[in-house]
Amino acid sequence: MRIATWNINSVKQRLGHLTAFLSEQAPDVLCLQEIKCVDEAFPVAEVEAAGYNVAVHGQKTFNGVAILSRLPLEDVRRGLPGRDGLDEDGPDQARYLEATISTATGVVRVASIYLPNGNPPDTAKYPYKLRWMDRLSAHARELLALEEPLVLAGDYNVIPEPRDAARPEAWVHDALFLPQTRSAFRSLVDLGLTDALRACSDESGLYTFWDYQAGAWQKNNGIRIDHLLLSPQAADRLETTVIHKAMRALEKPSDHVPVSVDLKL
Residues with catalytic function: 114, 155, 256
**Does 255 appear as a known binding residue?**
yes
**Does 7 appear as a known binding residue?**
yes
110 DSSP β-pair partners: 99, 151
Q: Largest Cα–Cα distance in the chain?
A: 49
Is cis: bond before 160, omega within 30 of 0?
no
**Does 169 appear as a known binding residue?**
no
Query: Strand order of the sheet with strand 238-243?
Result: 53-57, 65-69, 29-33, 2-7, 259-263, 238-243
How far CA 168 is from CA of 165, 186, 197, 218, in Å, comes to 5, 18, 19, 18
Residues 96 and 163: their CA atoms lie apart, in Å, by: 27
Strand-strand pairing, 106-114 and 96-103: antiparallel
Angle at 24 between CA 160 and CA 229, to 5 degrees: 25
Q: Is 225 exposed, middle or buried (0-12, 13-18, 19+ CB in 10 A)?
A: buried
**Does 174 appear as a known binding residue?**
no
The answer to whether 140 touches 191, Cβ cutoff 8 Å, is yes
- Helix count and strand count (H, E) for the chain: 6, 12
Annotated binding site for Mg(2+): 7, 34, 155, 157, 255-256
